Amino acid sequence: MNKKSPHLANETRERLLRRVEAIQDAASVESSTGFAAQHNSSDSTDFSTLPGYEDLRVYRALGQKYGLENPYFRTHEGRAGAHTNIAGQSLLNFSSYDYLGLNGHPEIIAAAKEAVDRYGISASASRHVAGERPIHLALERALAEHYGVAESLVFVSGYATNLGVIGQLLGPKDLVICDSLSHNSIVMGGVLSGAARRSFPHNDLDSLDHMLASARGHFQRALIVVEGLYSMDGDYPDLPRLIEIKNRHNAWLMVDEAHALGVLGQRGYGTAEHFGVDPRQVDIWMGTLSKTLAGCGGYIAGSHELVEYLKLTAGVFVYSVAMPPVIAASALKALEILHREPERAAKLRHNGTVFRSWATESGLDTGNGAGTAICPVIVADSLPTVMLSQRLLERGINVQPVMHPAVPAKAARLRFFLTATHTDAEIATAIRTTVEELQNIRGKMRTLTAQA
């Protein structure tokens, strides 16, 4: 019996998938003969004719059919850390990037209030024109010192940092090569640059090496872009090997530390500390202020020449208003606390290890998770993934689903984000409840399929 169960489970999933596809086809037919028929397909001013809009209607119809709410854009009524409030309900929260629990820290709030009193809210101009403030320079000095490099530069958006910096550094004669699971901002930065673009299979550095060996000689410059910690899987690349590869192929290496800062390393200093390498061996450090540093925006850290060039040429910096001084002050204080209180990173590291260990022992599929602050629970199909998220919400646990195309087909998942302020008891509750609800949902799916 046990030998047959995996086969039956796979068969059940396939039958369910065919059923969902049939519903999608029916919804498409209904829309094409109903709503869509009322509109002239040549009407280019109708926003509903945009690519993908009809897919949104199909997914909405599927959700309504199964009694599922939209799991996104839920309104949090206060600070969202290890706990949150949604629609008047107090919840355990596993969908926050507040890794070290610094958002709302009394010292950060005090620093923010002081900055508001001194500078107001907005800088009211680009830094080139009249937006430069001492707090911007102080934050940039602190970030540069953190990475042990010459200088850094802060931007008002993390997404725009990748987009604008990659777009500015490369051109049609160059090559940008990134991990296949790289963030959309990295991919679109390559598109903006006009450079030739390649991607290598996730964390497969042998493939990266081979691709550079065959292609590098055809381009003037080459940029390798990876993430220090991947937000969909909670794993990380082999930084020493990347440095060796980029040196041998005469390429730049850019590491996106958005999720790594505060998470990796003994003190939470990031990817370089985790591997014990000199951060100056990486050409470009990129990161965001919106996660561990309890602010908003992005930064680049590296050589004087790199920062000087970007400061004078990168459109996302030159033509953008300066970062609000209150955000710069908040991030600066958060970085100071990160350095002063390494026990926060130690507690987060404990929580990440415990969550993945207990989840795996409980039979949950944690994919490529490496025991960091991000741990996926792979469900496979999108419909049961959304169902699971909703059932957990009803039982007091907020965790978001991620589905195709954000992840590969048949790899839909819940992403659990751990913080330093989660307790072992809360982690145990989340895992136990997830196991119970996933078993219930899969049982209902088998019944539904049998009745089809």
Q: Determine which one of 83, 202, 246, 259 is catalytic.
A: 259
Q: Determine which one of 231, 290, 330, 389 is catalytic.
A: 231
Let me know if 291 is a catalytic residue.
Answer: yes
Let me know if 146 is a catalytic residue.
Answer: no
Quote the tokens at residue 267: 């003190």
Let me know if 113 is a catalytic residue.
Answer: no
Q: Determine which one of 136, 291, 347, 422 is catalytic.
A: 291
Catalytically active residues, by annotation? 231, 259, 291
